[in-house]
Amino acid sequence: MNSNRRFILKALAAGGVMSATLGGCSRVSNPQQAEQSSSDKDWLKAQSIRDAIVVPSFAEQQFNIVDFGAQSGSDHDCTESIKAAIQQCHESGGGQVRVPAGIFYTGAVHLLSNVNLHIAKGATLKFITDPKKYLPAVFTRWEGLEMMGYSPLIYAYKQKNIAVTGEGTLDGSANNQTWWPWKGPHKEAHWDHIVGEDQKPARMKLMQDAENGVPVAERVYAEGAFLRPPFVQPYECENVLIEGIKVKDSPFWLLNPVLCKSVTVRGVTMQSHGPNSDGCDPESCDHVLIENCTFDTGDDCIAIKSGRNADGRRVATPSQNIVIANCHMREGHGGVVIGSEISGGVNNVFVEDCTMDSPELERAIRIKTNSIRGGVIEHLRYRNINVGKVKNAIVVNFFYEEGDAGTFDPTVRDIIIENMDCQQVLKKPLYLQGFERAPMYDIKLKNCHFNNTGEDSIVRHVNNMTLDNVTIDGKTVALNDVLSPS
């Protein structure tokens, strides 16, 4: 059989979009059919990610923290009682550590394998604001940098099959005069600044330690450093479930799984308007599902990360295989965000059926990086995004924070956004700003509509951008209509 005939039969057997004759082939591709096939393949990949995520299950036995001495009320510190219940549950083969109705005060909670910390309906686990309750220092990541720091309020290190579930509330108590003021002098619309200690000196020193390759064990930034701990941080864990709970008033990022595999965040309400109150930040994680969650935050609602600068490149672990579905974003700096601590890269992100609506929502879809952060950001898919009010709709910015001050040009490519409907864009529908020497490329918008816009778009240094049925204020626009002078 000649090679031409073999090629034809292979294409036909694969359902290819060409017609052929045995004497040769005449390419009459159907672009619409090919495009649909490609889209279907993308979302089949999203389903395969869902199917591959392991959701932990637990033994039926329960360990009520009251049976270990915990008492409701501000006069009682339940830290040791909760620790004892978790230890007993773990040693007994796992199960549920139950926080019953009431308000229980505690310091740091450290989860162990096969333990489901269950916050019952009517229960609040309220975290004490004395920083000493989060010592000794633990191995953690802070703004994408590894260090020894204050324990996250709920922490797990190298554990398997863990969960925080229930209909109750985790209250970080950070809206008092302890945690949030550590941000230092800072103008922020979402919170009332109280002058206090300042994280800036330690933050700058930690960044320099990372650039200098100082061993992590020597990067001790706990007491006296004023670097606020995240709320929930499983670190290098497998099979993590966070479901049903309300998380409020976090010192720092709310949910921050780091270097984890198989993470499910489902039906969680996140409400915190303090500085750096990101809602859910999967960082260097593989196979993550975030669905049916509500975000009302003082920073990004969801921010996918993978380490910062030299530290991110050293660990070299991307965030990948992430599905975000049926979430609602209210206030925040961004709805679904990638970056800015993204030096390890990100790939295979699928976002669908989300709603976003608030005059205080800064951006709907956002990618932020620069030539210090770098990172390869690729294969991102968004569909069925309904936006009420937002300040800026789609933002991809290569000049975030430090600007163009490094030698690690980011790579941003292969992005498709389809069926995005914005009712009111208070500022720019599109803000895409690449580098002239390193443009972003392969960006496609399909069936996207931006209404009641306040400002013109800015689109610079984007190669191979396609607009298919894109309207701004009711007018169909072509690429030349949105391109800006370099």
Statement to judge: residues 160 and 44 lie in one domain: no
Q: Is residue 167 part of a domain?
A: yes
Over residues 157-210, the pLDDT tens digits come to 999 999 999 999 999 999 877 899 999 886 665 555 556 689 999 999 999 999
Statement to judge: residues 75 and 115 lie in one domain: yes
In this structure, the dihedral spanned by the alpha carbons of residues 453, 454, 459 and 460, taken in order and rounded to 10 degrees, is 180
Residues forming the active site:
299, 333
Pairing type for strands 363-368 and 392-397 reads parallel
Residue 208, phi then psi, degrees to nearest 5? -70, -40
Over residues 207-244, the pLDDT tens digits come to 999 999 999 999 999 999 999 999 999 999 999 999 99
- Report the distance separating Cα 322 and Cα 51, nearest Å: 12
By the 8 A CB rule, do 128 and 173 touch?
A: yes
| pLDDT score of 336 more than 50 | yes
Host domain of residue 45: 3-52
Q: Is residue 175 part of a domain?
A: yes
Which residues sit opposite 464 in a β-bridge?
none
Could you tell me which residue, 411 or 30, shows the higher pLDDT? 411
Statement to judge: residues 220 and 86 lie in one domain: yes
How many percent of the chain have pLDDT more than 90?
87
Statement to judge: residues 102 and 30 lie in one domain: no
Domain boundary residue, one of 32, 52, 72: 52
Statement to judge: residues 31 and 80 lie in one domain: no
Which residues sit opposite 26 in a β-bridge?
19
| pLDDT score of 9 more than 60 | no
Over residues 403-436, the pLDDT tens digits come to 999 999 999 999 999 999 999 999 999 999 999 9
| pLDDT score of 380 more than 70 | yes
pLDDT value for 175:
84
Over residues 79-132, the pLDDT tens digits come to 999 999 999 999 999 999 999 999 999 999 999 999 999 999 999 999 999 999
Q: How many CA atoms lie within 13 A of 317 on its CB side?
A: 13
Statement to judge: residues 101 and 200 lie in one domain: yes
Statement to judge: residues 193 and 151 lie in one domain: yes
Residue 176, phi then psi, degrees to nearest 5? -100, -150
Statement to judge: residues 110 and 190 lie in one domain: yes
Torsion sign over Cα 202, 207, 210, 212: negative
Q: Is residue 187 part of a domain?
A: yes
Domain boundary residue, one of 52, 77, 93: 52
Q: Is residue 379 part of a domain?
A: no
Statement to judge: residues 152 and 230 lie in one domain: yes
Which residues sit opposite 323 in a β-bridge?
289, 350
360: which 2 tokens?
């205080």
**For residue 228, what are the contacts with CB-CB under 8 A and spacing of at least 6?**
150, 174, 179, 180, 182, 183, 199, 251, 252, 276
Pairing type for strands 363-368 and 95-99 reads unpaired
What is residue 426's DSSP assignment? S
pLDDT value for 177:
77
Q: What are the respective helix, strand and coil percentages of the chain, to the nearest 5?
A: 15, 40, 40
- Report the distance separating Cα 289 and Cα 345, nearest Å: 18
By the 8 A CB rule, do 333 and 363 touch?
A: yes
Pairing type for strands 440-450 and 462-472 reads parallel
Torsion sign over Cα 186, 281, 255, 353: positive
**For residue 15, what are the contacts with CB-CB under 8 A and spacing of at least 6?**
37
Over residues 148-159, the pLDDT tens digits come to 999 999 999 999
Q: Is residue 461 part of a domain?
A: no
Residue with tokens 């590894």: 146
Q: Is residue 262 part of a domain?
A: no
Task: Determine the residue type at 387.
Answer: V
pLDDT value for 372:
97
Statement to judge: residues 28 and 169 lie in one domain: no
| pLDDT score of 448 more than 60 | yes
Q: Is residue 404 part of a domain?
A: no
Statement to judge: residues 225 and 114 lie in one domain: yes
CATH number of 68's domain: 2.160.20.10
Q: What is the mean pLDDT of the chain?
A: 92
- Report the distance separating Cα 286 and Cα 259, nearest Å: 8
pLDDT value for 17:
35
H/E element holding 124? strand 123-127
Number of domains in the chain: 2
pLDDT value for 38:
74
Tell me if the bond preceding 56 is cis, omega within 30° of 0. no
What is residue 308's DSSP assignment? -
For 424, the 3-state DSSP assignment is strand
| pLDDT score of 36 more than 80 | no
Q: Is residue 62 part of a domain?
A: yes
| pLDDT score of 6 more than 80 | no
Which residues sit opposite 322 in a β-bridge?
288, 349
Statement to judge: residues 67 and 38 lie in one domain: no
419: which 2 tokens?
């069926």
Over residues 135-145, the pLDDT tens digits come to 999 999 999 99
| pLDDT score of 5 more than 50 | no
Q: How many residues does the chain have?
A: 486
Task: Determine the residue type at 438.
Answer: A
pLDDT value for 28:
43
pLDDT value for 194:
59
pLDDT value for 188:
64
